[in-house]
Amino acid sequence: MLAVAVSWDLYLARHSALVLGNVGLVQVAPFFLFALVAGHFADRYDRRRILLLTQAVGLATALVLALSGLSVAVIYTCLFFNATARAFQGPARLSLLTQMVPVAHVSNAVAWNSSIQELASVGGPALAGVLLAASGSKSVYLIQGFCSLLVLLCYAAMRFRPRLLTEGPKPTTMTEGLRQLFRDKLLLSASSLDMFAVLFGGASALLPIFSVEILHGGVHTLGWLRAAPSIGAVAMALTLAHLPRIERAGAVLLFAVGGYGLATIVFGLSHSIWLSFAMLLLAGAFDNISVVLRMSLLQTETPEWVRGRVMAVNGIFISSSNQLGAVESGVTAHWFGAVGSVVGGGMATLLIVASFGAFAKRLRSWRQIQSDPSA
């Protein structure tokens, strides 16, 4: 909901692709500044306390947006503090998964977790579109604040097993997560593939332009376009949760990222609302395959004593792809137009997949061992 309301307010204020694209820059900067510190905190301090403090910051930013004037500076400032809170929250939250479910069930837990998260992402943009049309963005920000409060209460009530640190070298520096990632070529190639593909292949930052200027819709169209990737992701995540673990994970990952790029190209060329919606739905489905496979790999292959730091580095990869991708979309759209930006990004994604398929041997041959279905 917040993403839709913010993008709509900025579009109404400036009608500028650069202003929309710079939302990504504002939100990615805290991850580069604080992610390694956040991973260090997640490994050394109480993870639930980190969740509570950072969620309180998220609640505060929602209230500021709801109660203040919505200038570009105010929106950017709130987004910066919100992203800073998420930079510290991400490593702590993701590191708790293995304290809640047995290792044998981590892959399935990742799929269910993704399903639940995407269900919220489906309803959020659609509801935001309805509220924007009916009562303006202030109502969206107030409901965002209420949702942030509910999450804060959920974190306070959460129960999990204490950490059982395995034997091994204990990290003493904030860069240990980087070293761990670069030591494991499979982790590095899987994370890099996702980062570069989404960096060039994303179209979400330009959806207000496509909604109004290309598809000749309005705020309702924007809400449904923003929801489409999440609808596809939910459908795929629920499917994966009911299927056996994917054995030829490397080949499936390359296929999924390639499908994401192809769907992006067709979306960029489309002048039909229904075709555009379908392509964004497919893009979300393909992206979810990548998310589930990559997060399962991170959760099962990363030692507990360095998991927070590795998750922090993974957060940098994700933020680089999503937020810097928004900046890239805004700049290229300013130069070549929205259609040229999206189509060119999709073609770049296909070239990236071809390169990784040709040169990343460990990724191409990566297989997951099937777990005992009776477990």
Banded pLDDT at 241 (limits 50, 70, 90):
confident
Write the CA distances from 375 to 17, 104, 128, integer angstroms.
51, 8, 41
240 near 293, Cβ under 8 Å? no
> What is the structure's pLDDT at 373?
39
Which pLDDT band, with edges at 50, 70 and 90, does 172 fall under?
low
Looking at the chain, the number of H-run helices and the number of E-run strands are: 14, 0
For residue 255, pLDDT beyond 50 = yes
CATH number of the domain at 2-157+175-364, please? 1.20.1250.20
Helix, strand, coil content of the chain in percent (nearest 5): 85, 0, 15
- Of 365 and 375, more confident: 365
Quickly state the pLDDT bin for 170 (edges 50, 70, 90). low
239 to 153, 279, 282, 353: CA distances (angstroms):
30, 19, 14, 24
Domain boundaries, the chain: 2-157+175-364
pLDDT digits (tens, 9 = 90+) for 311-343: 777 777 776 666 667 667 777 887 888 888 889
- Give the integer Cα–Cα distance in Å for 234 and 107: 16
Q: Smallest Cα–Cα separation from 199: which of 28, 325, 10?
A: 325
Kindly report the CA angle at 325 between 322 and 327, in degrees rounded to 5? 120
Distance CA 100, CA 162 (A): 10
Estimate to the nearest angstrom the gap between the alpha carbon of 257 and the chain centroid: 15
Per residue in 361-370, pLDDT (tens digit) is: 888 888 776 5
Checking if the pLDDT of 165 tops 60, the result is no
- Is the C-alpha dihedral spanning 122, 113, 254, 90 positive or negative? positive
**pLDDT band at residue 290 using 50, 70 and 90 as cut-offs:** confident
Tokens read off for 110 = 């990742």
Which among 253, 254, 287, 248 has a CA at the least distance from the CA of 366? 248
More confident residue, 277 or 94: 277
- Whose structure tokens read 């009911």? 242
Kindly tell me if the per-residue pLDDT of 125 is higher than 90: no
Q: Which tokens is 13 given?
A: 């204020």
Average pLDDT of the residues of the chain: 81
Helix (H, G, I), strand (E, B) or coil at 366: coil
pTM of the complete model: 0.66
Spatial neighbors of 283 by CB under 8 A, at least 6 apart, are 203, 229, 232, 260, 263, 264, 267
Q: Is the pLDDT of residue 371 over 60?
A: no
Contact 229, 281 (CB under 8 A): yes
CA distances from 56 to 3, 62, 91 (A): 19, 10, 17
The yes-or-no verdict on residue 226 having pLDDT over 90 is no
pLDDT recorded at residue 167: 46
pLDDT tens track for 106-119? 777 777 777 777 77
Distance separating alpha carbons of residues 261 and 201, to the nearest angstrom: 6
Contact 260, 290 (CB under 8 A): yes
pLDDT at 173 over 90: no
Higher pLDDT, 374 or 160: 160
Radius of gyration of the chain (CA): 20
Q: Give 244 or 175, the one with higher predicted confidence.
A: 244
Question: Which distant-in-sequence residues (6+ apart) come within 8 Å of 67 by Cβ?
Answer: none
Whether 193 contacts 207, CB under 8 Å: no
Give the residue-averaged pLDDT of 198-227.
80
User: Is 171's pLDDT higher than 60?
Assistant: no
For the cut 50, the answer to whether the pLDDT of residue 375 exceeds it is no
